[in-house]
């Protein structure tokens, strides 16, 4: 008789910042399906009640908010195994058209938010014995989309921070990786499409530029996050995992 296979993340406790966004929601659901207890930490709730997914209002730019989040988890769970830093915003400007206020705001959310939430998670992650932090970079941290200057800069910073954290906490068996998606079908991408006059043509152009001829779905990203969160990825740390339908592998050729 074969043994019953346990769920991949059975007994694990996870926090997902931006957990009510497009990709964050898919990650929370996947973690819960795999047996984890999940805290979706976001500015706003998506108002859906799901088994083993708890909402915690959290502003990643606030140190007090991070302290409150982990005080609750310590009280309710006593440890933390997985932290996903997915909260972010995008602003679509060249540097000349970016105000200092917008520049500071996007860095506060995308970079300082990753720093603050990770910093205050560490005491509980140490209690895990085999913890995993998964940051959100982007293929925009490698190669630039036009008119996304500040966003690209924040994602490059998250990539460097990921490697630094992996060096510092690897000796305590805390793994740190970054996911670097290409285009994924979420409210963030819809708002990018929404700024164009002809949305259908833009969507088709975006699909056609990919070797796989499509952009990604949130579940495609959640699959990789799930693997990195658990023990099958126990030797994976300090890496930037591009998942983009082949987009960044391809030179954009002129059609001669």
Footprint of ligand NAD on this chain (CB under 6 A)? 17-18, 20-24, 42-44, 58-61, 86-89, 109, 136, 138, 181, 183-184, 186-189
Please, which residues have CB within 8 angstroms of residue 62's CB and are 6 or more apart in sequence? 116
Q: How far apart are CA 114 and CA 247, in angstroms?
A: 26
- In terms of Cα–Cα distance, which of 75, 72, 68, 19 is closest to 47? 19
Q: How far apart are CA 118 and CA 185, in angstroms?
A: 27
Q: How far apart are CA 58 and CA 242, in angstroms?
A: 27
From the list 8, 151, 169, 183, the catalytic residue is: 151
Is 7 or 193 the residue whose CB approaches ligand NAD more closely?
A: 193
Is 204 or 234 the residue whose CB approaches ligand NAD more closely?
A: 204
**Tokens 């954290």, residue located:** 165
Least separation in angstroms between residue 250's CB and ligand NAD is: 17
Instruction: Please tell me what DSSP assigns to residue 211.
Output: T
Is 189 or 224 the residue whose CB approaches ligand NAD more closely?
A: 189
Least separation in angstroms between residue 15's CB and ligand NAD is: 11
Least separation in angstroms between residue 73's CB and ligand NAD is: 16
Least separation in angstroms between residue 200's CB and ligand NAD is: 18
Is 142 catalytic? The answer is no
- In terms of Cα–Cα distance, which of 255, 172, 183 is closest to 217? 183
**Residue nearest ligand NAD (C-beta atom):** 21
Q: Is 72 left (phi over 0), alpha (psi -120 to 50) or beta?
A: alpha
Is 74 or 185 the residue whose CB approaches ligand NAD more closely?
A: 185
Within 10 A of 13 (CB to CB), how many other CB atoms are there?
24
Catalytic positions, written as ranges? 151
């Amino acid at each position: 008789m074969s043994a019953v296979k346990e769920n991949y993340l059975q007994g694990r406790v996870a926090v997902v910042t931006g957990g009510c966004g497009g990709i964050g929601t898919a990650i929370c659901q996947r973690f819960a399906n795999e047996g984890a207890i999940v805290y979706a930490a976001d500015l706003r709730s998506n108002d859906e009640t799901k088994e083993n997914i708890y909402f915690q209002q959290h502003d990643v730019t606030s140190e007090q908010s991070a302290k409150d989040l982990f005080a609750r988890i310590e009280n309710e769970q006593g440890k933390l195994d997985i932290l996903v830093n997915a909260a972010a915003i995008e602003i679509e400007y060249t540097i000349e058209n970016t105000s200092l206020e917008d520049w500071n705001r996007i860095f506060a959310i995308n970079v300082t938010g990753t720093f603050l939430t990770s910093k205050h998670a560490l005491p509980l992650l140490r209690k895990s014995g085999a913890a995993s932090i998964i940051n959100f970079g982007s293929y925009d941290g490698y190669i630039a989309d036009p008119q996304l200057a500040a966003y690209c800069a924040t994602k490059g910073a998250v990539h460097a921070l990921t490697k630094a954290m992996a060096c510092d906490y690897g000796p305590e068996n805390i793994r740190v990786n970054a996911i670097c998606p290409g285009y994924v079908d979420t409210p963030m991408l819809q708002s990018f499409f929404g700024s164009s006059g002809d949305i259908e043509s833009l969507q088709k152009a975006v699909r056609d530029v990919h070797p796989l001829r499509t952009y990604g779905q949130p579940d495609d990203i959640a699959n990789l996050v799930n693997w990195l969160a658990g023990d099958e990825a126990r030797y994976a740390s300090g890496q930037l995992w591009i998942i983009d339908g082949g987009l960044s592998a391809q030179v954009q050729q002129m059609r001669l």
